[in-house]
Amino acid sequence: MNSRPTVAVTMGDGAGVGPEICVAACLDPTVLAVARPVVIGDAARLERAAEALSTEVAIRTIDSPSEAGDCPGVIHVIDLDLLPADLPWGELSTVAGDAAFRYIERASELAMSSDVQAICTAPLNKEALHSAGHQYPGHTEMLASLTGTKEVSMMLSSPKLRVIHVTTHIGLIDAVARIEPGLVERTVRRGNEALVRAGIEHPHIGVCAINPHAGENGLFGYGEEEEKIIPAISALQNDGIDAAGPLPADTAFFLAGRGDYDLIVAMYHDQGHGPIKVLGIEAGVNITVGLPVIRTSVDHGTAFDIAGTGKVDTASMSEAMRQAAALAAV
């Protein structure tokens, strides 16, 4: 049996930088040392991406991940052949939005049947996705639906900080309404399990408050911390999980940045995304926690403004593939 896990690499929106970062990461020696990548996408688009990068590579079409071999300078692709040859770079496309969904759909099938051991996704464009009739807020919710998973969490990982979110792609008012002790507790448990899987035996987890200064004893907010967060932390601590809080978010991220916490639990999207992106979006990786399959992704978008120019930084995609392989190998 091959000691390196096979990672299904979805090409993302073909009008964006997805094809370019897939080509670069699939040729990265540090990736190939730990993973066997198989792209789910369009072979012709990958060839155009290689041209944009001024990279010499052979794009080899296969029908099954089992056909992928170790061939220097070769990228193996399950070619769904969904994109027109004249698809322009950097422009919103319903066809590309639908294709991005189809790549994820095929990768999910391969993962659920154990033909691949992990999925690593290039970015898609939500507007293009929706215009094609696929009404998902993003990859996280799409993969949950495709794998029949009721609830998952988004975790962002960078060299200096890891963040897991209690809520993600909903408005702030809706997020506060959705937060309740059970959801907070389940989110922390998923994060704790993911870190243990990654080799951190006893993760130290900081849980953010909702209000400034953690409510300051009722001065800010309407008692959300006492009602929605503290009961969850008590239950987690009773089970031996090292969860502290609720912490003022500005303090929590400062402490995590200097190494006091292995994981910060953010209550809503921007509370967690902001610090990660300030610390370096190019090194950030998005991990979907709670799925029956391993899934990682870059923490950046389709970058239509530079798509097809060869200027994209590919470091995040390489790191996402390395982390997918590391998690799959446990």
Residues 189 and 309 in one domain: no
Q: Cα angle vertex 254, ends 248, 257, to 5°? A: 135
Angle separating helix axes 18-27 and 315-328, nearest 10 degrees: 60
Euclidean distance between CA atoms 2 and 35, whole angstroms: 10
Does 329 have pLDDT greater than 80? no
CATH of residue 256's domain is 3.40.718.10
Euclidean distance between CA atoms 229 and 66, whole angstroms: 46
Residues 127 and 164 in one domain: no
pLDDT band at 185 (very low <50, low <70, confident <90, very high): very high
Q: Are 202 and 305 in contact (CB under 8 A)?
A: no
Residues 210 and 129 in one domain: no
Residues 1 and 135 in one domain: yes
Q: For residue 149, what pLDDT is reported?
A: 93
Residues 102 and 118 in one domain: yes
Residues 299 and 310 in one domain: yes
pLDDT digits (tens, 9 = 90+) for 191-213: 999 899 888 999 999 999 999 99
Residues 210 and 74 in one domain: no
Residues 276 and 319 in one domain: no
Euclidean distance between CA atoms 49 and 40, whole angstroms: 15
Task: Give Cα separations from 12 to 169, 170, 235 (angstroms).
Answer: 19, 22, 40
Euclidean distance between CA atoms 100 and 96, whole angstroms: 6
Residues 2 and 144 in one domain: yes
Residue 157 CA from chain centroid, whole number: 9
Q: For residue 1, what pLDDT is reported?
A: 39
Mean of the per-residue pLDDT values of the chain: 93
- Centre a 10 Å sphere on the Cβ of residue 160 and count the other Cβ atoms it contains: 14
Q: Are 154 and 140 in contact (CB under 8 A)?
A: yes
Does 217 have pLDDT greater than 60? yes
pLDDT digits (tens, 9 = 90+) for 127-159: 999 999 999 988 888 999 999 999 999 999 888
Euclidean distance between CA atoms 187 and 152, whole angstroms: 8
Q: For residue 171, what pLDDT is reported?
A: 95
Q: For residue 282, what pLDDT is reported?
A: 59
Does 111 have pLDDT greater than 90? yes
Characterise 82 by phi-psi region: left (phi > 0), alpha (psi -120 to 50), beta (else). alpha
pLDDT digits (tens, 9 = 90+) for 278-313: 876 556 788 999 999 999 999 789 999 999 999 999
Residues 225 and 313 in one domain: no
Q: Is the dihedral of CA 250, 251, 255, 260 positive or negative?
A: negative
Report the SS3 class of residue 291: coil
Residues 252 and 182 in one domain: yes
Q: For residue 75, what pLDDT is reported?
A: 98
Domain range enclosing 285: 151-290
pLDDT digits (tens, 9 = 90+) for 234-291: 999 999 999 999 999 999 999 999 999 999 999 999 999 999 888 765 567 889 999 9
The number of distinct structural domains making up the chain is 2
Write the burial class of residue 114 (CB in 10 Å: 0-12 exposed, 13-18 middle, 19+ buried). exposed
pLDDT digits (tens, 9 = 90+) for 7-65: 999 999 999 999 999 999 999 999 999 999 999 999 999 999 999 999 999 999 999 99
